[in-house]
Amino acid sequence: MNLYVASTSGNSGKTLVALGLAKIWAGQGVSVGYVKPLGKIPVVEEGGVADEDAAFLAKELGLPGPPGATCPVVITQDLMMSAYRGELSGLRERVDRAIREAAARCEVLLLGGAANLRDGIFLGLPPLDIVSAHDCRIILVDRFEAEKSMDQVLWASGVLGSRLLGVILNRVDAAQEIFVRDLVRPCFGSRGIRTYGAVPTDPLLDSVSVATLAAALSATVECEADLLDTMIERFCVGAMDVESALRVFRRMPRKAVVTGGSRADIQLAALETDTRCLVLTGGIPPNDLIRHKAEEKGVPILVCRDDTMITVERFEKLVGRLRIRESEKIARGVGLVSAHVDTAGILASLRAGRPSK
């Protein structure tokens, strides 16, 4: 049985859902495999090119085989240039072979979709062709954004037809939970679309470790290097007067504060509140007072050579593509899927070959 985990836009939560379904079903004795036909985040694994998300899931699920077994095609600059020149060959065969071999080893094969239902057409790998060729059922993951989501899900339903098992709404804000329950889900139901779950927004899943932040910012660690697994849920910029900064800092728990390396007054104010990391810009290290206070509070300090504006831009890009990697986030993500998604219903529908009522 093949289940394609799709979305209509990027960063919708496909990896979270695939990871949750795989771990939950595996815990119930179901043999689960995973293949991502087309990857977009190339990394080097075992001397070869792999997709970061696929490599992560393969490791978490203990899947056999080399990196190419879970992601047969990874987009690189060379691959794209070959596509422009019309020199591509064999990509579809690699994808088909990876899916067939993985499906033969398990009861349920999860296929990780690309950012949307069109990604891959340029490379001769249209998602809908792959879905059809391998008789996949589809679960649609949508990052819930009110009317935009209604349009996206209804459009996808029309395109996917009977292959669509249903939808999982992700990142549903607390203020929207009643609206989703009382209006959105019945509306989809009236149009023949089953909603298998609504996963709430969770601050931890939106967080980033100090280690990940340091790597993304190319920062040096000035103190508390043994606390780099500390998770940061939000960040703010300290570019105001101390009194204003304190008012802001007190309202923001579990944060990183980005400020100029020369702003010792702002740094000290940040350390008086629930700050998990100081990010000092301009290549200026902390003075002895700040260093001592940070060590006393257990707060790592990162120093970036870039100015504050560039550092903040890089921070924002990182937040926009956060991924589930740390063990704490993995456990939370699987727990959220278990608590808020009808995983048994999805499996039953998959086994029946059609949506269950």
Q: How many helices (H) and strands (E) does the chain have?
A: 16, 17
CATH of domain 2-202+324-352: 3.40.50.300
Q: What band does 161 get if pLDDT is binned at 50, 70 and 90?
A: very high
Q: Which residues of 297-311 are buried (b: 16+ CB within 10 A; e: fewer)?
A: eebbbbbbebebeeb
Res. 320: pLDDT tops 60 = no
- % of the chain at pLDDT higher than 70: 97
* Rounded CA separation 159/162 (Å): 9
Res. 47: pLDDT tops 80 = no
Q: What band does 21 get if pLDDT is binned at 50, 70 and 90?
A: very high
User: Residue 7's CB: how many other CB atoms inside 10 A?
Assistant: 25
The pLDDT tens digits of the residues spanning 198-240 come to 999 988 888 888 998 898 899 999 988 889 888 888 888 988 8
Domain boundaries, the chain: 2-202+324-352, 208-320
The three-state (H, E, C) secondary structure of 279-304, written as one string:
EEECCCCCCHHHHHHHHHHCCCEEEC
Instruction: Check residue 84 and give its pLDDT.
Output: 94
* Rounded CA separation 71/53 (Å): 9
284 φ, ψ (degrees, to nearest 5): -95, 120
> What is the pTM for the complete model shown?
0.83
Instruction: Check residue 278 and give its pLDDT.
Output: 96
- Amino acid identity at 200: P
Burial of 43 (0-12, 13-18, 19+ CB in 10 A): middle
The pLDDT tens digits of the residues spanning 105-159 come to 999 999 999 889 999 999 999 999 999 999 999 999 999 999 999 999 999 999 9
* Rounded CA separation 70/55 (Å): 7
* Rounded CA separation 200/172 (Å): 4
Res. 355: pLDDT tops 50 = no
Burial of 190 (0-12, 13-18, 19+ CB in 10 A): exposed
Which homologous superfamily does the CATH classification assign to the domain defined by 208-320? Answer: HprK N-terminal domain-like (3.40.1390.20)
Q: What band does 319 get if pLDDT is binned at 50, 70 and 90?
A: low
237: helix, strand or coil: strand
Beta-bridge partners for 59: none
Q: Do domains 2-202+324-352 and 208-320 have the same CATH topology?
A: no
